Each structure stands twice: as C-alpha cells, then as structure tokens.
C-alpha cells in the first residue's frame, strides 16, 4: 500500500511539473506576443524588443523554478552552499559594476515608458553636461545620441530615468 501511495505521489509531482511547464510555455508565448505587439505599436527597433523578451523570459523562468523545487522536495539546505557561493561572486561582480544591473532594469522601464524613438531630436537636461542631438539607437545599456558635430554620445539608461528629457522634434 505504501508503495502505491509513493507512486501516486510521484505521479502527482510529474503532473504538476507538466502543468507548470505548459503554463511556463504559454506565459513565454504571451510575453513574446505582447512585447512584440507593443514594440511594433511604439515603433521600437527589433533588437530592443528581442532584448526585452529575453530578459522577461529569464525572470519568469526563475519564478517557475521555485514551485518546481518545492514539489520535488529539492533540499534548499543542500543548495544553500551553491547559492551562497553564487551570490557572493555575483555580489562582488555587481558591486564592482552595479550600474550594469541598473541600466538593464532601466532599459526595461524605458521600453514600456519611453515617449521618444529613434530619430527623435532630444535634449537631456544635465546642468553643464547637457546633451542634445538625434536618438541614434536605444539598447539594453544606453541611449546613443548623435550630436550636431556628428559625434556619437552614449548616455546610460539609468541616468535617462533621473534627468529631464525635452523632445525637440519627433519623427512621426
């Protein structure tokens, strides 16, 4: 009888994992379709849309791993050594380059709320370091602006969220 209950429990775990996997696949497709639709509607570059989709897929994959770990009784005590090691190395790397993570996060925010597009003429108000020119590209880490002298200026995404940006002309 006990073996039968163990088999039934294993089948329940497998069923839950399959349902969770199907839910993950459906979520991936919904994210991809909605982000692509939003990107086309806002006339974003294809590379910018792809970066955003990949980032969101990674986040949702990590979220779906947590319930799967609980169902399969993965010992988090045993994994704690690996987690501590990973987070120590990641913490040191992120401390040394914290702006990379903030730029990636800012790029996701700017993807969904960025009233400018490639070709817009803008001025970023930053005191004596103000930048003015045409938006040449919007990527995961920065906004590329071409000024009147033809110079390409890289402006970090995390700073773009903190500074006032004036639209001088929009290429609609």
* 152 and 94 fall within a common domain: no
* 37 and 104 fall within a common domain: yes
* End-of-domain residue from the set 110, 128, 158: 110
What's residue 75's pLDDT? 63
Dig out the tokens for 113 from the structure. 């709320």
pLDDT band (50, 70, 90) for residue 37? very high
Does the structure show a pLDDT above 90 at 33? yes
What's residue 113's pLDDT? 76
Q: For tokens 């609980």, what's the residue? A: 70
pLDDT band (50, 70, 90) for residue 97? low
Does the structure show a pLDDT above 60 at 96? no
* 41 and 7 fall within a common domain: yes
* 29 and 97 fall within a common domain: yes
Cα separation of 138 and 36, whole Å?
16
What's residue 81's pLDDT? 65
Given a contact cutoff of 8 angstroms between Cβ atoms, the answer to whether 51 and 107 are in contact is yes
For 111-159, what is each residue's pLDDT tens digit?
777 777 788 899 999 888 889 999 988 887 888 999 999 999 999 888 8
* 89 and 144 fall within a common domain: no
Q: What is the largest CA-CA distance in the chain?
A: 81
Give a three-class secondary structure readout of 61-119. Answer: HHHHHHHHHHHCCCCHHHHHHHHHHHHHHHHHHHHHCHHHHHHHHHHHHHHHCCCCCCC
pLDDT band (50, 70, 90) for residue 8? low
Range(s) of the domain holding residue 158: 111-169
pLDDT band (50, 70, 90) for residue 63? confident
* 100 and 22 fall within a common domain: yes
Tally of structural domains, the chain: 2
Cα separation of 76 and 131, whole Å?
49
Given a contact cutoff of 8 angstroms between Cβ atoms, the answer to whether 171 and 119 are in contact is yes
* 120 and 54 fall within a common domain: no
* 115 and 80 fall within a common domain: no
* 122 and 62 fall within a common domain: no
Given a contact cutoff of 8 angstroms between Cβ atoms, the answer to whether 33 and 57 are in contact is no
- Residue 135 to residues 38, 122, 130, 138, 156, Cα–Cα distance (Å): 20, 7, 14, 8, 13
* 72 and 133 fall within a common domain: no
- Residue 97 to residues 90, 91, 123, 126, 154, Cα–Cα distance (Å): 10, 10, 27, 23, 17
* 120 and 162 fall within a common domain: yes
* 8 and 90 fall within a common domain: yes
Mean pLDDT along residues 83-110: 69
What's residue 59's pLDDT? 84
């Amino acid at each position: 009888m006990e073996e039968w209950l163990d088999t039934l429990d294993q089948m329940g775990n497998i069923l839950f994992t399959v349902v969770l996997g199907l839910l993950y696949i459906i979520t991936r497709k919904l994210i991809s379709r909605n982000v692509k639709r939003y990107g086309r509607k806002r006339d974003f570059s294809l590379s910018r849309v792809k970066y955003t989709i990949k980032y969101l897929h990674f986040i949702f994959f990590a979220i779906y791993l947590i319930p799967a770990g609980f169902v399969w009784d993965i010992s988090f005590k045993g994994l704690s050594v690996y987690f501590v090691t990973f987070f120590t190395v990641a913490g040191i790397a992120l401390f040394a380059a914290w702006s990379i993570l903030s730029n990636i996060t800012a790029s996701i925010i700017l993807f969904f709320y960025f009233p400018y597009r490639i070709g817009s003429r803008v001025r970023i108000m930053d005191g004596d370091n103000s930048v003015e020119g045409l938006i040449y590209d919007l990527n995961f880490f920065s906004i590329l602006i071409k000024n009147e002298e033809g110079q390409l200026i890289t402006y970090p995404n995390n700073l773009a969220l903190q500074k006032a940006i004036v639209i001088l002309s929009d290429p609609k």
